[in-house]
Amino acid sequence: MLNFLKNFSAKSKPQSIALLDLGTSSVKAAIVDLTTFTPTLLGFGEELFKNGTILSGLVSDLNDFQETAGRALRKASLACGFTPPGLVFPLSGEFVKSVTVDLEVKRPTAGRLGRGEKDKIEKEIKRQVAGEIKKEFSRISGDPSPEVESFYERVVSFESSDGIGLESLAAVIEPTFKVSVLASFASSPTRKLLEKISRGLNKKNLLVFDQTVGLLDLIKKTRGNFSAVLVDVGFQVTDVCLVSLGKIVGERTIPLGGRDLTINLCQKLGLTTEDAEERKRRGEFSPSEAADFFKLWTYSLDQSLTEITQGSKFARIPVYFFGRGIKPENIREALGEFVKGSSTSFLNFLDVYGLDKGLTPEINYTGADNNHLSFLPLLSAVEVFQKSYVPDKF
């Protein structure tokens, strides 16, 4: 009877989806039509949290958190006249982390995999991925026995032991082969939080994953299996993700963001919060006017990368910055003088990467205005969602 039930669980792709980006200052919502050859953005909306709803990336006021998500979704719905029944959560910050787990599978004998053996290997891969996730989460939280859940898993590559790419498990003949699995994970209460939001909005939770996975896929389209540090600068937190040869090595969140830069400008220049925010957005400040912030921020970037690599040194590696209001020249100037004294080599070379360099998701923007540019991480999630309907590589 279990087989019988399993057959009913086969999912069909919805015609449209609503995406919710839960940030530290606002919730962004987008509604995308998936029936067109290229997905079409039908509507989007953004709503700000009340002051204090999020503290250092963590939810402090659950009610406002839920209500803000509802308002953002309604705003997006107004543009197209409907709300899809399914929600997709491309998460970021403290909500989720990702890691690529490289495994080596050894079998007693060579030959094509039988059905039983294939199932056994799949189970073993999943078991080992779960173990690696637990270890990684333990390193992030310090909790030796964390309650962690895998939200999203994708086979990144299959390789024979001598490095020849394999299409899938069905192509395996060798007794030993390597598999890389990209996994997004978070603490168990995060899932319950998302379920609560979905229930509150009377929607179905379709897919939860890390926004960084979308950015990774997007950059890989033009740069292949690149190596870089992706830095997503948010309002309260900064996400740091180390990518090596197209695989996520690890991810950390620094509880520092644009808000802290504003505070530093207020203190240093004696401005009101509103004035400081305005100058920050326009980039009308010199790095020395926010020296304390930049020192701590640069130092924190170094620390986070040291944490990810557990002390191993990387060769010179570009750093790509994302985030609203990020201006390449500002970042370069602001960080340039501070990285000179850096104890690691991570920040020796800076590159600021954004939409101006052709990093564009394959989305039709019919029906939406030009503000979609600030929705880059959110929209890059559409392709990840599409991929989740491609049969599993296993």
Interacting residues with another protein (CB under 8 A): 1, 3-4, 7, 52, 55-62, 94-95, 115, 139-144, 187, 189-190, 192-193, 196, 236, 252-256, 260, 263-264, 293, 296, 299-300, 303-304, 307
Whose Cβ is closer to another protein: residue 105's or residue 237's? 237
Interhelix angle for 258-269 vs 291-309, to 10°?
Answer: 150
Distance of closest approach, residue 39 Cβ to another protein, in angstroms: 28
Whose Cβ is closer to another protein: residue 66's or residue 330's? 66
- Other beta carbons within 10 angstroms of residue 89's beta carbon come to 27
Write the DSSP symbol of residue 364.
Answer: B
Q: Is residue 295 helix, strand or coil?
A: helix
Strand-pair partners of 149:
186
Distance of closest approach, residue 305 Cβ to another protein, in angstroms: 10
Distance of closest approach, residue 234 Cβ to another protein, in angstroms: 12
- H/E stretch holding 144 reads none
Distance of closest approach, residue 356 Cβ to another protein, in angstroms: 29
Whose Cβ is closer to another protein: residue 226's or residue 314's? 314
Distance of closest approach, residue 394 Cβ to another protein, in angstroms: 15
Distance of closest approach, residue 192 Cβ to another protein, in angstroms: 6
What would the two tokens of residue 29 be?
């919502």
Whose Cβ is closer to another protein: residue 175's or residue 189's? 189
Pick the closest to residue 122 from 181, 80, 48, 209 (CA basis). Answer: 181
Beta strands in 277-341 (DSSP E): 319-322
Pick the closest to residue 180 from 225, 114, 120, 237 (CA basis). Answer: 225
Distance of closest approach, residue 252 Cβ to another protein, in angstroms: 5
Per-residue CA distances from 48 to 20, 69, 76, 150, 336 (Å): 13, 9, 14, 29, 32
Pick the closest to residue 258 from 229, 279, 228 (CA basis). Answer: 279
Whose Cβ is closer to another protein: residue 30's or residue 140's? 140
Whose Cβ is closer to another protein: residue 167's or residue 356's? 167
Alpha-carbon distance of 147 to 158, in angstroms, equals 29
The answer to whether the beta carbons of residues 135 and 183 sit under 8 Å apart is no
Alpha-carbon distance of 239 to 257, in angstroms, equals 9
Whose Cβ is closer to another protein: residue 141's or residue 225's? 141
Alpha-carbon distance of 278 to 280, in angstroms, equals 5
Distance of closest approach, residue 43 Cβ to another protein, in angstroms: 28
